[in-house]
Amino acid sequence: MGENVQVKWTRAFQHLETLATACDEMRGLPLPVTQLWVFGQFLESPADLDSVHVALAVDLPEVPWLSAPAGASHWANATRMARNPFTPVWRSARAPIWNHFVVRPALVWDASEGVLSDALTAIRDEKADRVRIAAPGTEELRARLDDELAISLAAMRSRVSAYSEKRWSPGKLEPVADDLHAVTSGYLDILDARR
């Protein structure tokens, strides 16, 4: 999607349904996606929007905030998520899906249950509040941000080391630099959210 291109809410909903179905069909891909959540403006009102915010839970111990696990771009292409109006964030299935940015999401697909048609129906009927999770309390959110900050700091240190090793070696530096940029951006975002 180009910049400043709005998508009709009903079309965005169709894209979400298609992505939920694609999640079900792509269970065999190497990246173990276990859940698809939707959040943000899309759940607030049926207005035109730039993109649909989705959170993808993957069966990995940790996914630093604003980074993408190995295989994420291939998964996004295979499911056509990359070609449609989605803004994805990748999350570990072993931690809460929510944080300061992923606020009151609604689960629309789960690896064990498949497409959650009741949730999609509630969203389509403008009754998303029925299927959204409750917002965490202040202390719970603070603890979550502390955990994410520690994960992001460890990832940033690891990526700095990888960048230093690769910097003067043969081969492309861009993938290593992009990864370092993503985890650093995530770390700074969480640091700002904790203030």
pLDDT in tens, 37-75: 999 999 999 999 999 999 999 999 999 999 999 999 999
Query: How confident is the model at residue 1, as a pLDDT?
Result: 41
And the tokens for 10?
């009903």
CA-nearest of 133, 120, 126, 129 to 20 is: 120
Q: State which H helix or E strand residue 153 sits in.
A: helix 138-167
pLDDT in tens, 132-158: 999 999 999 999 999 999 999 999 999
Report whether CATH 3.10.20.30 matches the domain 9-130.
no
87: alpha, beta or left, given left = phi > 0 and alpha = psi -120 to 50?
Answer: beta
SS3 category, 87: strand
Q: What is the dihedral of CA 80, 185, 133, 53, to 10 degrees?
A: -30
